[in-house]
Amino acid sequence: MEKRKLGKSLEVSAIGLGCMGMSHGFGEAHDRQEMISLIRAAVEKGVTFFDTAEVYGPFINEELVGEALAPIRDQVVIATKFGFDLKDNAHSTPGKMKVNSRPEHIKVVAEESLKRLRVDVIDLYYQHRVDPNVPIEEVAGAVKELIQQGKVRHFGMSEANANTIRRAHSVQPVTAVQSEYSIWWRRPEREIFPMLEELEIGFVPYSPLGRGFLTGKIDENTTFSENDFRSRLPRFAADNRKNNLAMVELLTQIAARKNATPAQIALAWILAQRPWIAPIPGTTKLHRLEENIGATSVHLTAEDLRQIEDAASKIEVKGERYPEEMEKMTNL
């Protein structure tokens, strides 16, 4: 598979694998052995970039990823995240969890993540959400110490605004920024992309398939279980889904012309935006994994991209991406 560079030195596969949904967020956790097999199949197919976080589960997703990748550790890049106070959050609902990026906390949870991941060093360590109570310079300083100690290789930030990233970067160079990004949620293009270009920082889009919506497998009649967090997202309300199918129809039209699927067009569109972008679509199914990887073989011409841009600009996507309390936890 094509490789891409995040920051100045971190090389990853053009398509990574977001592992959250295997354990957390989209209903019941999936069978552990099946997910281990899927992760290892991804490596065999050229994926080298795997994304997890302590909060996914919590903890069990890191353990899953660690077990799956232990035999092939030297072939892969493992990214995980810190930034929540999980001991205080055991019974919290999403969006009401307490953030915690105090330097002493970061150092403790880094050790715990190292053990769960079965590694000596974390390749890419993201601050999951900005902590308004801790100066970002202190956060970057704590990660810098972990890097100096050989426990972390690269510093990342998630859902942070341009000014916050710039301040952190002045203390410890940021290798990658992770934020939601897809053809139906493009806010990072405004202020984040120009800053990333300037500072030579990579970008890792999560939910590049719109949490499954852009695959064309969800419509206004789809039902979500109570423990599927899409059931609480405004964008996934039935009326909004019905309206937003216009974006799926656009992808479907392009896909038919390119002998591809809507998901592959959505991913190929992201890959075409900048050479320093590496999306991390998640899946629990082998055929979806293969489909996503296939997006790297879909070539969108300048004319294709112009037509997509023109058509997408006429579609008004309805519904906020998060409920208000969850959006407040982002720093964009």
What is the CATH number for 199?
3.20.20.100
Report pLDDT digits (tens) over 196-249. Answer: 999 999 999 999 999 999 999 999 999 999 999 999 999 999 999 999 999 999
170: in domain:
yes
Report pLDDT digits (tens) over 83-140. Answer: 999 976 555 555 568 999 999 999 999 999 999 999 999 999 999 999 999 999 999 9
Split at pLDDT 50, 70, 90, the class of 81 is: very high
- Catalytic site residue 56? yes
Separation between Cα atoms, residue 266 and residue 131, nearest integer Å: 32
Q: 208 near 280, Cβ under 8 Å?
A: yes
Segments forming the whole domain that contains residue 33: 3-212+263-298
The structure tokens listed for 119 are 């590694």
315: in domain:
no
323 sits in the region (left: phi over 0; alpha: psi -120 to 50; else beta) called beta
Q: How many domains does one find in the chain? A: 1
320: in domain:
no
Q: What is the pLDDT of residue 94?
A: 53
Residue 305's SS3 state is: helix
234: in domain:
no
321: in domain:
no
Instruction: Exactly one of 56, 126, 181, 206 is catalytic; name it.
Output: 56
161: in domain:
yes
